[in-house]
Structure 1
Amino acid sequence: MSLILFTNVHVLDVRHGRLQENHHVLVEGDTIREVSDRPLTSASARVINGGGRTLMPGLIDCHVHTTFSQTNLGLLAQTPNTTLALRALPILRGMLRRGFTTVRDAGGADYALKAALEDGMSGTVLGPRLFVSGPALSPTGGHGDFRPRSDRLQPVGCGCQRLASTRVVDGVDAVRLAVRELLQMGADQIKIMSSGGVASPTDPVNALGYSVEETRAIVDEAAARQTYVLAHAYTPEAIRRAVECGVRTIEHGNLIDAPTAKLMAEHDAYAVPTLITYEALARDGVRLGLGAESVAKIEQVRAAGLHSLEIFRAAGVKLAFGTDLLGASHNLQSEEFLIRAQVQTPAEVLRSATLIGAEVLGRSGRLGEVTPGAMADLLLVDGNPLQDLTCLAGQGEQIALVMQGGHIRVGSLAA
């Protein structure tokens, strides 16, 4: 089993928000074996001198769409899966270069893409470790229904039609079957649409999605396989309905109010804000092909973004890091750090992208920390992110090395 020894590094303790100076870290295989403030020795280890850089855990993005290579999601409906997967490859490589060693795909990526990345030990396909949802579930006319308005609406056939990496499915029995199918096909968690959204053409942002009965059925089926549900939801009413039905994470939540945030905290529900995507869509959405109906809805949620962070934070809701970027805007992923820093401290933002992300994924102790027994997902960073998060911005220019599961994916610092 391979041994790699990091010397002359300052280890970022994200749990306590501090740098542990002049430390040494020994990696055995895919796991961190030892972290010490005293020199470690191993005759068989490859030694990497960190040069006084920060050694920190790999980053976790809990809301990505790795197969959404176009901004106009309606155009993806007719794109073959093979084409979607091939277009995803540079998107995945970019995420890894920016230091994201694990991501949760919130709709689109499937088990096959996840398996290809896990086989990446051979070097064929490189990218973050994937937790996949498969196609998100949407009611007719909801955020996953990209059919245009027409007097001859394309039928959904058996009630479970795939449209732009979503499934339009209605009714308690039908959603139960859909969840069972997704889990059989390898989904790690289930994504549902609990409110209207920006990218879909016919649903107002404040529209409600699945009914209480449908949502409870979906949550029940996920729980039967020891997993959970994440819900796209913007408004207090939609968020409240989802949380009271047992949904674990609320995606976006821009229009949250204080009483609903308090309810989330009481139910130990997580929030996954995705503020950078609204900045990207407001700036370039039209140029990148976003439909006119969607453009009109952007400002409503964009303007409320920072205030939602304040409300979540005040209520004690745990905030995971998410981005939700589409098409050509994927390269803005790390700009979410700078938006969050307008409300949260750097330590809080870093915990969102490490410890809290690991909690959401059910991988506490294995991801998101530089501690013995954790996966060896490690970054060597020029600078101290506790003082200035810009060292994590851009395309990884200040990240000298990316290790994932004990394999060096980016960089090759000599001993």
Structure 2
Amino acid sequence: MTLLAGARVLDPETGETTRADVRLDGDRIAEVGPGLDGDGRVDCTGGLLIPGLIDCHVHVAFRRPEPLPRSARILETVPVLRGLLARGITTVRDAWGADAGLKHALREGWITGPDVLVSLRQLGPTGGLGDSWEPPAGAVDRYGDPSLPDPVFDGPDAARAAVRRMVRAGADWIKVGASGAMRSVRAGVDVRPTDEELVALVDEARRCGRDVMAHAHTAAAVVSAARAGARSIEHGTFLDDESVAALGNTWYVPTLSPISDSEFAPDHRRSVRLAAEAGVRIAAGSDLAPRPHVDLTTELRLLAAILGDAAALKAATSEAARLLRLDDDRGRVEPGLRADLVLLDGTDLDVTDLPGRVRTVWHDGKAVGARE
């Protein structure tokens, strides 16, 4: 038993905080309320307890641009994951690059880090996102790793087969490139799946017990992916009224961080405002791939500038858990849920410098990072 005493506790659904103690029993929250008793008392006076943060779009094992051995991609994940957990990020959804072996290493305790949900590769048609091709060499699979299967498909039946390859290799989620990369969009060469391919892909994912996350920069790609039944739309850089309307039953993960300093940043911020004003469900994701790494704490600062601090924290806790179908297990500070918690210095909701405020992180009820 551990008693976290004297903090204010955030309800991410309302944005309100209340003075309460939190009693932990193993990896679960046992009780929340004032005046609790318990062994292992931790003085949290002057602090704010929030649920462990959830990043819905990371790349913890992204291929490096340098021509390094394949092992470098795997080994780089060790400090990346350790650093994420120390900053209060206790669950992540990897949007391609990490394989099922990483989850095994975390379960076995070989490495430390957040819980990781993997998608393996981002599926797409020939010439689209996920199709590595170079003029001198033709098709090039730079991963060259059987644990990350071939992501390319052409036609609805091939899209179904691609989903099955990912599921066979241990994917928790299916990632599809409903549009091309930003550079392709900018060049006017946006090779993307047909509506029939997207419908088949989403249907096959459901038959396999998986949900689909769809990379989509353009409004047209957002509409196609949302109407096909993707559970979340990633990026959504250039939304319009039609695409926002299509997001009615879909989560929007804006990933503001990677292009926050680019010429498209104003369009991206406008898209988030349009979605928020229309009541679209927004979950937080950092798109961790760029180096030097940005992470969820940067993304929350950018989201808060548009939505406010309380809404940004909700996007990274209860709403993120809801998107990932984990809301019966984490994302709030309530009895019965996972004891994934972060103690921040101060009792306000300001997310401007979350890393500087983190005092202690609990993951599965264990203190994994504590500042002296």
Letter in 2 for 1:144: G
Following the alignment from structure 1 to structure 2, what is the Cα–Cα distance between the partners of residues 166 and 321? 28
Q: Deviations over 1:360-397 (max 9, x none)?
A: 110113111000111000001012342x21241xxx23
Cα displacement (A) at 1:357: 0.5
2:26 to 26, 29, 36: 29
Aligned-pair Cα RMSD in Å: 2.4
The number of aligned residues is: 370
Cα displacement (A) at 1:164: 9.3
Partner of 1:172: 156
Following the alignment from structure 1 to structure 2, what is the Cα–Cα distance between the partners of residues 391 and 384? 14
Partner of 1:260: 243
Partner of 1:286: none
Partner of 1:290: none
Following the alignment from structure 2 to structure 1, what is the Cα–Cα distance between the partners of residues 208 and 4? 39
Q: How does 1:15-414 map to 2 (within 5 A)?
A: 15-21=13-19, 23-37=20-34, 39-42=35-38, 45-68=39-62, 70=64, 72=65, 79-80=69-70, 82-120=71-109, 124-150=110-136, 153-154=138-139, 167-198=151-182, 204=187, 207-265=190-248, 268-279=249-260, 299=263, 301-386=264-349, 388-392=350-354, 396-411=355-370
TM-score, normalised to structure 1, is 0.83
Following the alignment from structure 1 to structure 2, what is the Cα–Cα distance between the partners of residues 34 and 217? 45
Relative distance call for 1:161 and 1:238 in structure 2 (3 A) is farther
Unaligned runs of at least 5 residues, structure 1: 283-297
Following the alignment from structure 2 to structure 1, what is the Cα–Cα distance between the partners of residues 188 and 274? 19
Matched, 1:12 2:6: no
1:138 and 1:166 in contact (8 A); partners too:
no
Q: Deviations over 1:333-384 (max 9, x none)?
A: 4121221122102111111000110011101131110001110000010123
1:137 and 1:168 in contact (8 A); partners too:
yes
1:196 and 1:204 in contact (8 A); partners too:
no
Following the alignment from structure 1 to structure 2, what is the Cα–Cα distance between the partners of residues 165 and 330? 26
Cα displacement (A) at 1:110: 1.2
Cα displacement (A) at 1:205: 6.3
2:258 and 2:290 in contact (8 A); partners too:
no
Which secondary structure state, in structure 2, belongs to the residue aligned with residue 253 of structure 1?
strand
Unaligned runs of at least 5 residues, structure 2: none
Which secondary structure state, in structure 2, belongs to the residue aligned with residue 342 of structure 1?
helix
Following the alignment from structure 2 to structure 1, what is the Cα–Cα distance between the partners of residues 147 and 172? 20
Cα displacement (A) at 1:260: 1.4
